[in-house]
């Protein structure tokens, strides 16, 4: 009897222990589930960013200045994060096609937009945009400034501004640009406005195809980024006439500014930077800004960019936002004054 009673007691004790352990497991599982739903425990999305490849959308074709800069940043981000950084070119409509694509992408930091000042020019040029440049994006960082360059082909008889403006057909001089609404487009329109000359705009989908036709004498002259034209200037396939910046470029100190050539109140520099879709988590935007800041502080990056004609830059999210919004308003006034609008 005692043995049987002892066995029964042990069985009761064992069942009690098993029940207690099972209850503790259920409680822990419930707590773990609650933490996961609240973004706790294993880490939030922001804490694990980036956990997969990132795509940088470039709004111009491969080979242009914006594309070259994006690929340099992508390579450095890959080194820093050990994640693939994909550069995807979506040219057309002066960058509006690529911008719309990113505006409609998930606001998670994995789809970014590489743009230049044309992003701020477009609202004044295009009456109807499929996105709001001020509301549909969050600026991350401005990484570089660069002037545009007025060039002619090596076979052109022009060697200075006056001669370039004499290359007329039907009372106007055609000029190529990197696309409707680009800083290079605006550079030509500003030149026409300041000089009173009739200039015929020939837009291209990026600086690279514009350069091809200028060198082939299909267009007598053109405004392009100094970075995209530099190698062709060095090889003699292009002749530089003037830069659009307020000061001469360090990489082409022999080339005068348009203001030096007597064009009053002429200044057009352009910025390059990264944007993300609106509502991207602030913590992710901060991480992106910090990563870019580390890149731009590297001496070899600064030297490489300077060698391509860029002035390396850094900015906070707030500073870049102010630059973009101010330029949107400034360029809207200018495009309205010169009648530069595209339906």
d(CA 119, CA 121): 6
CA atoms within 13 A on the CB side of 52: 6
Q: What is the pLDDT of residues 269-299, one digit of tens each?
A: 889 999 999 999 999 999 999 999 999 999 9
Any idea where the domains of the chain sit in the sequence?
Answer: 47-145+269-337, 147-243
Residue 45's pLDDT band (boundaries 50, 70, 90)? low
Burial of 270 (0-12, 13-18, 19+ CB in 10 A): buried
Measured CA to CA in angstroms, residue 248 lies from 185, 244, 321 at distances of 20, 9, 27
CATH number for 47-145+269-337 (one of 3.40.50.2000, 3.40.190.150, 3.10.180.10, 3.40.630.20): it is 3.40.190.150
Q: What is the pLDDT of residues 224-248, one digit of tens each?
A: 989 889 999 999 999 999 999 988 9
With contact defined as beta carbons under 8 Å apart, do 152 and 214 qualify? yes
Measured CA to CA in angstroms, residue 254 lies from 83, 148, 164, 243, 248 at distances of 42, 15, 18, 10, 8
pLDDT for the residue numbered 237: 98
- The encoded tokens of residue 4 equal 């049987």
Length reported for the chain: 343
Q: Which fold has domain 147-243?
A: D-Maltodextrin-Binding Protein; domain 2 (3.40.190)
Please tell me if the domain spanning 47-145+269-337 has the same topology as the one spanning 147-243: yes
Q: What is the pLDDT of residues 124-174, one digit of tens each?
A: 988 889 999 999 999 999 999 999 999 999 999 999 999 999 998 888 999
């Amino acid at each position: 009897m005692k043995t049987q009673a002892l066995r029964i007691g042990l069985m009761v004790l064992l069942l009690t222990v098993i029940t207690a352990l099972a209850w503790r497991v259920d409680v822990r599982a419930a707590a773990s589930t609650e933490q996961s739903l609240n973004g706790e425990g294993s880490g939030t999305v922001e804490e694990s960013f980036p956990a997969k490849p990132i795509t940088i959308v470039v709004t111009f074709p491969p080979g242009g200045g914006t594309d070259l800069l994006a690929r340099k940043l992508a390579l450095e981000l890959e080194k820093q994060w050990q994640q693939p950084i994909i550069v995807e070119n979506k040219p057309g409509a002066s960058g509006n096609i690529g911008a719309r694509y990113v505006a409609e992408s998930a606001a998670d930091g994995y789809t970014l937009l590489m743009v230049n000042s044309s992003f701020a020019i477009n609202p004044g040029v295009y009456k109807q945009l499929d996105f709001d440049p001020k509301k549909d994006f969050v600026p991350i960082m401005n990484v570089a400034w660069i002037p545009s360059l007025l060039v002619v082909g090596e076979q052109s008889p022009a060697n200075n501004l006056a001669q370039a403006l004499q290359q007329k057909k039907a009372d106007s001089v055609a000029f190529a640009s990197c696309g409707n609404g680009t800083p290079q487009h605006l550079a030509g329109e500003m030149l026409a406005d300041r000089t009173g000359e009739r200039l015929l705009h020939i837009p291209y989908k990026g600086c690279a195809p514009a350069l091809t036709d200028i060198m082939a004498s299909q267009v007598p002259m053109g405004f392009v980024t100094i970075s995209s034209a530099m190698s062709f200037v060095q090889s003699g396939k292009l002749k530089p006439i003037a830069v659009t910046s307020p000061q001469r470029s360090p990489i082409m100190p022999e080339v005068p500014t348009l203001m030096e050539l007597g064009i009053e109140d002429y200044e057009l520099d352009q910025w390059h930077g990264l944007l993300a879709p609106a509502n991207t988590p602030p913590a992710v935007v901060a991480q992106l800004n910090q990563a870019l800041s580390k890149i731009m502080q590297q001496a070899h990056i600064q030297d490489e960019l300077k060698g391509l004609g860029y002035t390396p830059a850094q900015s906070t999210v707030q500073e870049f936002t102010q630059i973009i919004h101010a330029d949107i308003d400034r360029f809207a006034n200018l495009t309205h004054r010169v009648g530069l609008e595209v339906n």
